[in-house]
Structure 1
Amino acid sequence: MVIGIFAGCNKKEDLTPADTSVKKEATEKPDPTVEPTVAPTKIEETNQTTVPELEGYTLLWNDEFEGDSLNTDTWNYEPREPGWTNNELQEYTTSTDNVFVEDGRLIIKAIKTTDAAGNDYYTSGKVTTQNKQDFTYGKVVVSAKVPRGQGLWPAIWMMPKVQEFYGEWPKCGEIDIMEVLGHQVDTAHGTIHYGEPHAQQQGTYVLEEGTFADDFHEFSVEWEPGEFRFYIDGNHYKTVNDWFTAVEGEEEKPYPAPFNQPFFVQLNLAVGGNWPGNPDETTDFDNALFEVDYVRVYQKPEYDLNVQKPVTILVEPEAGANYIRNGDFSNAEDLTDDIDWKFLLAQNGEGSAEIKDGMITILSQNAGAVDYSVQLVQPNLAMKKGSKYQVTFDAYASEERDIIVCVSAPDNGWIRYLPDTLLTLSTSMQTYTYTFDMTGKDDPNGRLEFNLGNRGSIADVHITNVRVEKIQ
Structure 2
Amino acid sequence: MESGKKCRWILGIITIGLSIMTGCGGGKLEQTEEKMEDIEVETLTNDTMKEPQNTVEDNPWQIEGYELLWQDEFEGNMLDTSIWNYELREPGWTNNELQEYTASEENVFVRDGKLVLKAIKTIDENGNDYYTSGKITTQNKKDFMYGKVSVSAKAPEGQGLWPAIWMMPTDESYYGQWPKCGEIDIMEVLGNEVNTAYGTIHYGEPHAEQQGKWVLTEGTFADDFHEYSVEWEPGEMRFYIDGNLYHTVNDWFSAVAGEDDKPYPAPFNQTFFVQLNLAVGGNWPGNPDETTNFEKAEFEVDYVRVYQKSEYDMNVTKPQQELRQPTEDGNYIYNGDFAESEDLSDDMNWHFLLAQNGEGSAEIKDGQLVITSLQEGDVDYSVQLVQAKLPMIKGNKYRISFDAYASQDRDIVICVSAPTAGWIRYFPDTTVTLSTEWQTYDFEFEMEEKDDPNGRLEFNLGHRGSTADVYLKNVRVEQM
Whether contact under 8 Å (1:38, 1:262) holds in the other structure is no
1:333 maps to which of 342, 364, 373:
342
1:349 is matched with which residue? 358
Deviates more, 1:196-205 or 1:325-334: 325-334
Q: How far off is 1:50 after superposition?
A: 6.2
Identity, in percent, stands at: 68
- 1:14-50 CA-to-partner distances (Å, cap 9, x unmatched) read 2869xxxxxx9xx9854376359469997799xxx96
Deviates more, 1:277-286 or 1:210-219: 277-286
Q: Does 1:284 find its partner at 2:293? A: yes
- Give, in whole Å, the separation in 1 of the partners of 2:315 and 2:118: 43
- Give, in whole Å, the separation in 2 of the partners of 1:96 and 1:465: 62
SS of structure 1 residue aligned to 2:326: coil
Seen in structure 2, the aligned counterparts of structure 1 residues 177 and 318 have a Cα distance that, compared at 3 Å, is: same
1:142 maps to which of 129, 151, 166:
151
Equivalent residue runs for 1:217-228 within 5 Å: 217-228=226-237
Seen in structure 2, the aligned counterparts of structure 1 residues 313 and 378 have a Cα distance that, compared at 3 Å, is: closer
- Give, in whole Å, the separation in 2 of the partners of 1:270 and 1:40: 38
2:15 is matched with which residue? none
Q: Does 1:63 find its partner at 2:79? A: no
Equivalent residue runs for 1:110-125 within 5 Å: 110-125=119-134
Deviates more, 1:184-193 or 1:448-457: 448-457
Whether contact under 8 Å (1:352, 1:363) holds in the other structure is yes
Equivalent residue runs for 1:393-432 within 5 Å: 393-432=402-441
Structure 1, gaps ≥5 residues long: 1-9, 18-23
Q: How far off is 1:317 after superposition?
A: 1.2
SS of structure 1 residue aligned to 2:313: coil
Q: Does 1:13 find its partner at 2:22? A: no
2:164 is matched with which residue? 155
1:445 maps to which of 446, 454, 458:
454
Aligned AA (1:14): G
Whether contact under 8 Å (1:191, 1:202) holds in the other structure is yes
- Give, in whole Å, the separation in 1 of the partners of 2:409 and 2:292: 35
Q: How far off is 1:418 after superposition?
A: 0.6
- Give, in whole Å, the separation in 2 of the partners of 1:109 and 1:457: 42
Equivalent residue runs for 1:172-191 within 5 Å: 172-191=181-200
- 1:231-282 CA-to-partner distances (Å, cap 9, x unmatched) read 1111112221221112122222111111111100111122222222223333
Equivalent residue runs for 1:30-429 within 5 Å: 30-31=41-42, 34=45, 37=48, 51-318=60-327, 320-429=329-438
Aligned AA (2:187): M
- Give, in whole Å, the separation in 2 of the partners of 1:39 and 1:282: 51
Whether contact under 8 Å (2:254, 2:267) holds in the other structure is yes
Q: How far off is 1:395 after superposition?
A: 2.7
Whether contact under 8 Å (1:43, 1:60) holds in the other structure is no
Structure 2, gaps ≥5 residues long: 1-22
Seen in structure 2, the aligned counterparts of structure 1 residues 330 and 311 have a Cα distance that, compared at 3 Å, is: closer
SS of structure 1 residue aligned to 2:311: coil
- Give, in whole Å, the separation in 2 of the partners of 1:271 and 1:425: 41
Seen in structure 2, the aligned counterparts of structure 1 residues 226 and 447 have a Cα distance that, compared at 3 Å, is: same
Whether contact under 8 Å (2:326, 2:333) holds in the other structure is no
Whether contact under 8 Å (2:202, 2:208) holds in the other structure is yes
SS of structure 2 residue aligned to 1:163: coil
- Give, in whole Å, the separation in 1 of the partners of 2:336 and 2:47: 49
1:4 is matched with which residue? none
- Give, in whole Å, the separation in 1 of the partners of 2:373 and 2:161: 25
- Give, in whole Å, the separation in 2 of the partners of 1:28 and 1:399: 59
SS of structure 2 residue aligned to 1:68: coil
Supply the RMSD in Å over aligned alpha carbons: 2.8
Q: How far off is 1:165 after superposition?
A: 0.8
SS of structure 2 residue aligned to 1:403: strand
Deviates more, 1:249-258 or 1:326-335: 326-335
- Give, in whole Å, the separation in 1 of the partners of 2:131 and 2:52: 35
SS of structure 1 residue aligned to 2:131: strand
Whether contact under 8 Å (2:324, 2:390) holds in the other structure is no
Whether contact under 8 Å (2:24, 2:177) holds in the other structure is no
Deviates more, 1:251-260 or 1:459-468: 459-468
Seen in structure 2, the aligned counterparts of structure 1 residues 38 and 116 have a Cα distance that, compared at 3 Å, is: farther
Whether contact under 8 Å (2:44, 2:270) holds in the other structure is no
Q: How far off is 1:172 after superposition?
A: 0.6
Deviates more, 1:305-314 or 1:164-173: 305-314
Seen in structure 2, the aligned counterparts of structure 1 residues 359 and 196 have a Cα distance that, compared at 3 Å, is: same
1:455 is matched with which residue? 464
Aligned AA (2:238): R
- Give, in whole Å, the separation in 2 of the partners of 1:124 and 1:364: 40
1:21 is matched with which residue? none
Q: How far off is 1:112 after superposition?
A: 2.7
Q: How far off is 1:110 after superposition?
A: 2.1
- 1:170-197 CA-to-partner distances (Å, cap 9, x unmatched) read 1111111111222222222211111112
Seen in structure 2, the aligned counterparts of structure 1 residues 464 and 283 have a Cα distance that, compared at 3 Å, is: farther
Aligned AA (1:335): L
- Give, in whole Å, the separation in 1 of the partners of 2:436 and 2:294: 45
